[in-house]
Amino acid sequence: MGCRRRAPASELLRIVAVGDEAGHSLRPDPARRLPGRGANMHPDPACFAQAVRRRAFGRALRITGVVDHGELAEHVDAPTTTSGQPDRARVASKVGRPT
């Protein structure tokens, strides 16, 4: 999405938009289980930054208005394990939850 390079779906992070009274927020869906229209991007901060700069999320997910990408930014910036998923212990310590 951000860098426009092709890759197998297994290497990409699925993103969905969740709507509420405040608008839409982007959520990472690494398990590929959340309902709704999804978009894929490389789980790389540079690819994420390009997608934000190009406003690609709104077009890819077919939503209008301001999109909150805070949760997605945290997920993309989190250190990853060899599986490509964020290290749960580090993410939990940032949030203040036990692992």
pLDDT band of residue 92 (cuts 50, 70, 90) is very low
Number of Cα atoms under 13 Å in the Cβ half of residue 52 = 14
Distance CA(34)–CA(46), nearest Å, equals: 24
**pLDDT tens digits, 39-79:** 999 999 999 999 999 999 999 999 988 888 889 999 988 77
Residue 28, pLDDT above cutoff 60 = yes
pLDDT at 98: 52
pLDDT at 80: 55
pLDDT over 90 percentage in the chain: 52
Residue 81, pLDDT above cutoff 80 = no
Residue positions counted in the chain: 99
Average pLDDT over residues 10-26: 89
pLDDT at 39: 94
The answer regarding whether domain 9-77 maps to CATH 3.30.43.10 reads no
pLDDT at 84: 47
Spell out the long-range contacts of 47-51 with Cβ–Cβ below 8 A and sequence spacing 24 or more.
Answer: 47/1, 47/2, 47/3, 48/2, 48/72, 48/73, 48/76, 49/2, 50/2, 50/3, 51/1, 51/2
